[in-house]
Amino acid sequence: MHPSAHAHMALCVERYLEKDKHYDIVDLGSRLSRKHTLSHRDLLVGHDFTYTGVDIRGGANVDRVMEKPYRIPVRSGSADVVMTGQAFEHIPYFWASFLEIARVVKPGGYVFLTAPSRGHVHSVYDCWRYYPDGFRALARFAKLELLEAHTDFPPAGRYRRLDYGAADPDKYWGDSVGVFQKPSRYPSLKMAIVRELHVRYANHCGDLESTPRPEPVPERVEVLRS
């Protein structure tokens, strides 16, 4: 996890979590690679919490391994907070994952999500970049309330175009941040049907290995370079 995303998640914790209240927290995509040391668990020091880190692979900071990539191994309505940072750009069928997050969080509970809006291709799969309207779409789709949606856009230049060359180097990834809340009157039965269809199909599709990447078209590459 890069420092700017870590800082944004710290602001979520500071703004929404109280020090004198216990929280059951699930962190989706919690595994730390060898080159990363920052974790969401670090941000909870000073709070009363139970932390469960889940990931599709075991490793540092992982408490439960997901046997299926689109099924979170946590009871429905058991988490006060679901955190996920710098994971959603790597999830091919993120709609299914977000429906699972909505299942896991309690009514009245929060979802803190950070994801890049720009930056280079990285990791095995790098599928998406997110803007505030993307979080609006997620909230609408999963029937959650959207409390905040922000993106670290670069400053506006001439003709109000974004000047990416003038972007703060510490905000290279242009983090987008979404804070969601599950309403107290959640349409659980309806959403269970929607969720199961999406989750089962996403797990059936699996990864992207059965869809090979096509060879680059030379003239297209030349246009992109110029």
Q: Tell me, what's the pLDDT at 224?
A: 77
pLDDT bucket at 219, cuts 50 / 70 / 90: confident
Place of tokens 């890069």: 2
Show the DSSP H helices in the chain as ranges.
3-16, 94-104, 132-142, 188-205, 218-225
3-class state of residue 113 by DSSP: strand
User: Which pair of structure tokens corresponds to residue 224?
Assistant: 């992109």
Any idea what the CATH number is for the domain that residue 201 is in? 3.40.50.150
CB 124 within 8 A of CB 96: no
The 10s digit of each residue's pLDDT in 135-172 is: 999 999 999 999 999 999 999 888 889 998 889 999 99
The 10s digit of each residue's pLDDT in 5-47 is: 999 999 999 999 999 999 999 999 999 987 778 899 999 999 9
Mean pLDDT computed over 188-204: 98
User: Which pair of structure tokens corresponds to residue 207?
Assistant: 């990864």
Give the sign of the dihedral formed by CA 48, CA 178, CA 148, CA 188: negative
Number of domains in the chain: 1
Q: Tell me, what's the pLDDT at 103?
A: 98
Q: Which of 12, 80, 71 is nearest to 51 (CA)?
A: 80
Q: Tell me, what's the pLDDT at 124?
A: 86
Residue-range definition of the domain harbouring residue 31:
3-225
Place of tokens 């060879």: 215
